[in-house]
Amino acid sequence: MKASYVVRRVIFLFMVIWTAASLNFILPHLTGRDPIREQLEQQIASQGRPAKDAAAMIATYNRLFGLDKPLWEQYLVYIKNVFRLDFGFSMMEYPRTVMEIIIARGKITLPFVAVGIVIAFIVGILLGALMGWSRSPAWISAIAIPPLMAASSIPQFVIALLLIFFFAFKIRLFPLGYPYPLDMTENWGDPQFLLQYAYHAVLPIMTIVIVEASGWALGMRAMMVTVEGEDYTVFAEAKGLKPSRIFLRYMLRNALLPSLTGLALRIGFVITGAAVAEAYFNYNGLGARLGAAIASFDYFVIYGIATIIVICIASATFIMDMIYPLLDPRISYRAQKG
Amino acid sequence: MSGFLSYVRRNPALGVGIGMLLFLLLFTTLGRLFVNPLHAYPLSVMPTQPPSAQYPFGTDVQGRDLLAVMVVGTGLTLQIGAIAGAIGLSVGIVLGFVAGYSGGVLDTVITSVIDVYMSIPGFLILVLIASIFSKVDLGVTEMGLIVSIVSWAGPARAIRAQVLSMRERPFVMMSKLSGMGTFEIIMKELVPNLAPYLVMSLSQTVYGGLQASLGLEALGIGARREPTMGMTLYYVQYYSALMLGMWWWVIEPIIVIVLVLTSLVMTSFGLDEIANPRRRKTV
């Protein structure tokens, strides 16, 4: 691997995080809305707080949150903090920090999303490889392709609703929602709790698997067709290798490469898709929290969650870029020449 | 027409996709003759009625006639997609042609901007932008405009790649030699040759725009007063329709969404076969 390649990817990683962080900063400021004033005025209106000191309170809070400084200074502080993963305090849940909230909510979201992505990838790749292989019976493709095309083209939350409708509402096999029973407290050391979490996560995981696996299956199928025409496959056949060996070692391995790059890119879509689906499963995870933060215009939580998601995706892409030349020696060969 | 029909027989995906789109368009236009479009808004009919002779699609909690919602909402949903698609593709065409045809520094700059932009999930950008307007009453047109903010990067990158490969073809060289101007070459040589590809890009962009708008609406960010499909599903979730046993309210918008999105995917899949003759042999 050439050093210039690594440097380029590192620069790209920082560009992505910086752009996302800047968008995060600029967009809410374009509104001209004042979150602290809105929040206080709401409290004054609903909880009967005295209104006479409101102006002084707003000024004090603005100073505490650093919102009274000039915009460019706020921006520099903000960018510096982003790279230290410090997003400040939540306005609505003060004195909890945004990072605390992200970790607490991420615990609900991350396990089912991660398991979903892994299962979806494996199922999708194997199914696609089987469909694209000329030796597998033609009816597999004929039966599988129409539902796969439909499933891969609709949003996660629609699948979520369908699954809830059939499996939770009609035959009552799985719970209608919530990450764990309402009478349980969140305790990740308790095996009973883990069991309940897993049971409640079946439908959310199925949602991710149905949408993502069908997309990967269709892509993989197209790649298998291409790989089957390559010289090395023809050569392997001419050598008289066993079909299973050609399938696994020659075709599957090579056709897998583009899907692996796609995996890193897809993670972003899966997370944002799951964030929407969470609302339908009544999960109080990252996505639901982001929705709540938008509703209450909690600046720092919006910044924090959006930025952390982008950082995750950008890092995943970066790691994939780093290991890709190891998986496909042709890439590093090309890098040496150019 | 018969030529088209015989072509569709070889390319069923295109036929099915266009057929479904036509059906949806007829449903939303001719349907208005049979239902009162005003019944797609709250408090117009008896609430919470299951499908019956009077309300074949049933009614929802807020007193909308769901048949009217489907008829009006299909049109509105397609409208959001059309606006996002038109804007996204136009910007994509301009950037794609400029980057692909000019090359050099301009190409590098545009491509890196697209690459960085595409690494940030569009949905997050949309959520941020939409949160700006969360206190404003959005209409369907505004929704289309918001969604188009993220729908230009995909087509721009794809079109750039196509232009790049076409720029070096002999017939373009020929027109250059015969003294055609850059703009003339683009309009007279490149665009007609890329036409099927551009139409495919359009249907993909419309599809992407619809996906994005549905996601936003599912979170309750959107044209809250309008009976679009996404907003209908938002209300399904908001009023826990399943807990109330109102299966019809859940299933109907899902069917429309599946039809709309699948028809677009099928259309672009079929157009891909026209745009990429190589596919015809392999698949």
Four-residue CA torsion sign, B106, B107, B113, B114? positive
CA B271 vs CA A59, B53, B74, B195, B241: distances in Å: 59, 41, 23, 10, 39
Q: What is the pLDDT of residues B237-246, one digit of tens each?
A: 888 888 888 8
What average pLDDT does this structure show over B203-210? Answer: 92
pLDDT at residue B283 in the model = 39
For chain A, give the percent of residues with pLDDT over 70.
94
pLDDT at residue B277 in the model = 66
For chain B, give the percent of residues with pLDDT over 70.
96
Interface test with A, best of B120, B233, B249 (most A CBs within 10 A): B120
Establish if B261 touches chain A: CB-CB under 8 angstroms: yes
Q: What is the pLDDT of residues A49-95, one digit of tens each?
A: 666 777 777 788 777 777 777 888 888 888 888 888 888 788 777 77
pLDDT at residue B152 in the model = 92
**C-alpha distance from A136 to closest chain B C-alpha (Å):** 15
What average pLDDT does this structure show over A293-320? Answer: 83
User: Does residue B279 register a pLDDT over 60?
Assistant: no
Residue B25 in any domain: the answer is: yes
ipTM value: 0.81
Would you place residue B282 in the very low, low, confident or very high pLDDT band (cuts 50, 70, 90)?
very low
Tally the domains of chain B. Answer: 1
Tokens describing residue B72: 């009006």
Residue B50 in any domain: the answer is: no
Residue B107 in any domain: the answer is: yes
Average pLDDT over all residues of chain B: 87
Residue B229 in any domain: the answer is: yes
**C-alpha distance from A221 to closest chain B C-alpha (Å):** 10
Establish if A263 touches chain B: CB-CB under 8 angstroms: no
**C-alpha distance from A15 to closest chain B C-alpha (Å):** 7
Q: Of the CATH numbers 2.30.30.180, 1.10.510.10, 1.10.3720.10, 3.40.50.360, which one belongs to the domain with range A99-297?
A: 1.10.3720.10
User: Does residue A332 register a pLDDT over 80?
Assistant: no
Residue B252 in any domain: the answer is: yes
A272–B121 CB contact, under 8 Å? yes
Phi-psi region of B29 (alpha: psi -120 to 50; beta: other; left: phi over 0): alpha
For chain A, give the percent of residues with pLDDT over 90.
14
Highest mean predicted confidence (pLDDT) among A64-73, A214-223, A296-305? A214-223
What average pLDDT does this structure show over A273-294? Answer: 84
Residue type at position B214: L
Give the number of other CB atoms < 10 A from CB of residue A150.
Answer: 16
B233–A158 CB contact, under 8 Å? yes
Lowest mean pLDDT among A14-23, A33-42, A259-268: A33-42
Would you place residue B82 in the very low, low, confident or very high pLDDT band (cuts 50, 70, 90)?
very high
pLDDT at residue B22 in the model = 95
Four-residue CA torsion sign, B51, B57, B62, B63? negative
Establish if A14 touches chain B: CB-CB under 8 angstroms: no
What average pLDDT does this structure show over A321-328? Answer: 80
Q: What is the pLDDT of residues B117-164, one digit of tens each?
A: 888 888 888 887 777 776 677 889 989 998 998 899 989 999 998 898
Establish if B123 touches chain A: CB-CB under 8 angstroms: yes
Interface of A with B in 139-168 (CB under 8 A): 149-150, 152-155, 157-158, 161-162, 164-165, 168
For residues B101-139, one letter each, b for 16 or more C-beta atoms within 10 angstroms of the residue's C-beta and e for the rest, the string is: beeeeebeebbebbebbbbbbbbbbbbbbbbbeeeeebe
Greater confidence (A94 vs B173) lies with B173
Question: Chain A contacts of B112, Cβ < 8 Å?
Answer: 15
pLDDT at residue A313 in the model = 83
pLDDT at residue B281 in the model = 44
Question: Chain A contacts of B116, Cβ < 8 Å?
Answer: 12, 15-16, 19
pTM of the model: 0.85
Residue B153 in any domain: the answer is: yes
Question: Chain B contacts of A279, Cβ < 8 Å?
Answer: 218-219, 237
Residue B215's domain comprises 2-42+60-279
User: Does residue A32 register a pLDDT over 70?
Assistant: no
Q: What is the pLDDT of residues A146-172, one digit of tens each?
A: 888 888 888 888 899 889 888 988 888
B254–A153 CB contact, under 8 Å? no
Would you place residue A337 in the very low, low, confident or very high pLDDT band (cuts 50, 70, 90)?
very low
Farthest CA pair distance, chain A? 89
Q: Phi first, then psi: give them for residue B65, nearest 5 degrees.
A: -80, 115
User: Does residue A331 register a pLDDT over 70?
Assistant: no
B242–A169 CB contact, under 8 Å? yes
Establish if B239 touches chain A: CB-CB under 8 angstroms: no
pLDDT at residue A1 in the model = 61
Residue B53 in any domain: the answer is: no
Distance between CA A269 and CA A254 in Å, rounded? 25
Question: CATH no. for residue B246?
Answer: 1.10.3720.10
Q: Which of B116, B124, B134 sits opposite A306 (nearest CB)?
A: B124
What average pLDDT does this structure show over B71-84? Answer: 94
Helical axes A98-132 vs A299-327, angle rounded to 10°: 40
User: Does residue B83 register a pLDDT over 90?
Assistant: yes
Interface test with A, best of B132, B236, B252, B260 (most A CBs within 10 A): B132
* CB A272 within 8 Å of CB B215: yes
A149–B112 CB contact, under 8 Å? no
Residue B47 in any domain: the answer is: no
Q: What is the pLDDT of residues A252-276, one digit of tens each?
A: 888 888 888 788 778 878 888 888 8
Beta bridge partners of B65: B59
**C-alpha distance from B164 to closest chain A C-alpha (Å):** 20
B128–A23 CB contact, under 8 Å? yes
What average pLDDT does this structure show over B98-114? Answer: 89
For chain B, give the percent of residues with pLDDT over 90.
40
